[in-house]
Amino acid sequence: MPPSGKSLLTDWTFPAVVHGDWRALRRSRRTTSQVSVSSLSQRPLRYAVVGAGFAGLSVVWHLLKHCPKELHLRVDIYDEAGIGGGASGVSGGLLHPYSPKGSRHLLLMMNAKLLDIFYFRFLPFIQILAVKLLWRGAECWKECLKLLNIAEAALGSKESNLEVGESDQTFSEFVVRRRGILRPATNTKTLNLLNDNAQNCLSSCRIETMDTDAARNLVPDICVPLNTAFYMPDAVNIRPQRYLQGLFLACKNLAKESASGFGERQLILHLHQKSISNLLELEGEYDAVIVCVGAKADTLPELSGKLPLRTCRGVIACMQLPENIREDYPENGPSILSDAWLAVQGSRSLLIGSTWEWKSRNSSPYVSADEAFKALEELLPKASAVYPGIKSWCFTGARAGLRAMPPLTPNGSVPLLGCIDDLVGENSSSCKYWLFGGLGSRGLLYHGWLGKLMAQAVLSCNEHIIPSELTSWKNIIR
C-alpha cells in the first residue's frame, strides 16, 4: 500500500479505450500508453450505483471527480426512496473520529460465543465509554470534512437551493453545525480512560478537559458528576438529508461543468427513483455496478444470506422547547454524548438517540406510536442524567433507520468493501460487481475516504487498491 495521504492512482495511466474492449483496459496495470484523440468519440463508460445514501453519493462524487480527463463517463444512481431516503437520511448526524478504548483488546480474548453475546448486549454501552481514534480515523475525518465543505458550497447560492426544491425560508438552515461535542465523565472508569485519550487526540479534532464550571459555561444545565467533562470543539453535527442533497447537487454541477468544456471528458449523471430487485437486471448495461444499499443488500437474491452483516434498528426522538419556556438552548452550545446522545439542531430543537433493536428487519423510517413510546421510555432517563433540562422539552416525533453492522475485527467494526463477482455469479475475469456496505453507526465518518477508495478501485478494476482490512470479510464467508 502507498503511504497515507498519497493518491492511490498516482502511478496509473489509462490507455486508449477501444469500443467494446473496456474490459481489457480494466485488466491492464501499469502502462505508458497514452489516450488517443479518437477514443474521445467512443461510447461513455457506464457505471450503476445502487443506493443514494452516504456510501452511494460518496462513490458517485469520486467516480466523477477522479475519472481521467480522456474518458467519458455516465453514472446512473438507483434508489426508490430518492436522495437520502434510507437510513443515512435519518441518522443523528454527530461526527467525530473517535471510538471506544479497550474494546479491541477485550474482543481478541473472547471466544466466538462470548463475542456474539458481547456484540449484541454491550456494544451500545461501550460506544460511549471513552474516546479512541477509529481505525484510519485521521483519513476518514479529513475526507469527510472535504465532502461536507463541497456540499455546503453547492448549497451556497439561491440558484442551487431552488434546484433542489428549497425555498427562501430554508436558506438559513445549516448543513453543518460547528459547535463541538461535550462528553461528561459519569464514572471513574470513564474518567480515567478519557483522561488517557485526551492526550493522544488529532490536532484537527482536539479533546479538551474541563471542570464543571467550564462545562456549564457551554451548557448551563449540564450535569458533571465527577467535576470533569471532555469537549471536542472541532466535532460537528450535520443535517444528513440536507447534506446529501448538497452532495448530489455538487455531483450534478460537476457533470454540468464537463458538458461546457471542449476536448475534455464528458460526465453524465442520472438519478432513477426506482428499486432494483436483483442485480442481474443491470446485466449487460454497465461496465460496473456498485452496491451501496446498506441493510437492504440482504434483500437482493444474489447476496441474500451471503454477507456477514447484522441488522440493528435505531429510533431517534425529535424534541422541541414549548412556547411557554423562554430560555433557549445556548446558541453556541455543543451537542452532548452520554448513554444517550443529544444532537442540537437549533436553540429550540434537538434529537435524542438512539435505541438498538438487534436483528430487526424493519427498514421503514416511520415509527408507530407504540415504538415511539418505548423509545422515549429508554432514551429520556439517559438523556436527563446529564442534561436534566430535557424534561421540559416536548416530544414532536420520531424517525428510524436500519443499520447494517459489520463483523467485529481486531480493528473494530470496519465496513465491507470489495469485488463481489463470485457472489453474484459473474464469471468474467474483470471486476464488474462491487460492494460498499456495513457502514454501521459510523457511516457518516467512513463514507468520504472509503467512497474515494471504492471509486479508485472501480476505475482501475483493481481490488488490491482497497486495504485488506476492508476486504477480510470475504474470509468469513468462504
Instruction: List, in order, residues 6 or more apart from 316 with CB less than 8 Å away.
Output: 90, 92, 351, 352, 353, 354, 398, 399, 400
At residue 439 the predicted structure's pLDDT band, cuts being 50, 70 and 90, is very high
Q: pLDDT digits over 372-403, tens only? A: 999 999 999 999 999 999 999 999 999 999 99
| Structure confidence by residue, pLDDT tens digits, 191-242 | 877 777 777 889 999 999 999 999 999 999 999 999 999 999 999 999 999 9
| pLDDT digit string, tens, across residues 53-111 | 999 999 999 999 999 988 899 999 999 999 999 999 999 999 999 875 444 333 333 44
Whole-angstrom Cα distance, residue 51 to residue 276? 10
Greater confidence (111 vs 431) lies with 431
What is the Cα–Cα distance from 178 to 402, expressed in whole angstroms? Answer: 27
Distance CA 83, CA 244 (A): 7
What is the C-alpha to C-alpha distance for residues 433 and 67, in angstroms, rounded to an integer?
18
In the numeric block, which cell numbers belong to residue 158? 439561491
C-alpha cell at 63: 467516480
Q: Is the pLDDT of residue 174 over 60?
A: yes
- 354 prior amide bond cis, ω within 30: yes
**What pTM did the predictor assign?**
0.84
Cα–Cα distance list, 431 to 26, 64, 290, 468 (Å): 8, 19, 10, 17
Can you give the residue ranges of every domain in the chain? 1-97+134-176+237-308+409-478
What is the Cα–Cα distance from 215 to 183, expressed in whole angstroms? 9
Count of alpha carbons within 13 angstroms of residue 432, beta-carbon side? 22
What is the rounded average pLDDT of the residues 440-458?
96
List 404's β-bridge partners, or say none. Answer: 311
Higher per-residue pLDDT: 160 or 152? 152
Q: Give the model's confidence band at 427: pLDDT under 50 very low, under 70 low, under 90 confident, else very high.
A: low
The residue length of the chain stands at 478
Give the CA count within 13 Å in the CB-facing half-sphere of 29. 4
pLDDT band at 260 (very low <50, low <70, confident <90, very high): confident
CA distances from 260 to 70, 132, 250, 256, 266 (A): 15, 46, 16, 7, 9
Instruction: Please state the rounded mean pLDDT for residues 143-168.
Output: 74
Which of 3.40.50.2300, 3.40.50.1000, 3.40.50.720, 3.40.190.10 is the CATH number of 1-97+134-176+237-308+409-478?
3.40.50.720
Helices 137-154 & 240-259, crossing angle to 10 degrees?
70
* Alpha-carbon span 16 to 362, nearest angstrom: 47
Residues 6 or more apart in contact with residue 114 via CB below 8 angstroms: none
Instruction: Identify the CA nearest to 416 among candidates 449, 439, 433, 432.
Output: 439
CA–CA distance, 369 with 143 (Å, rounded to integer): 39
pLDDT mean over 408-412: 90
pLDDT tens readout for residues 115-149: 444 444 444 433 333 457 899 999 999 999 999 99
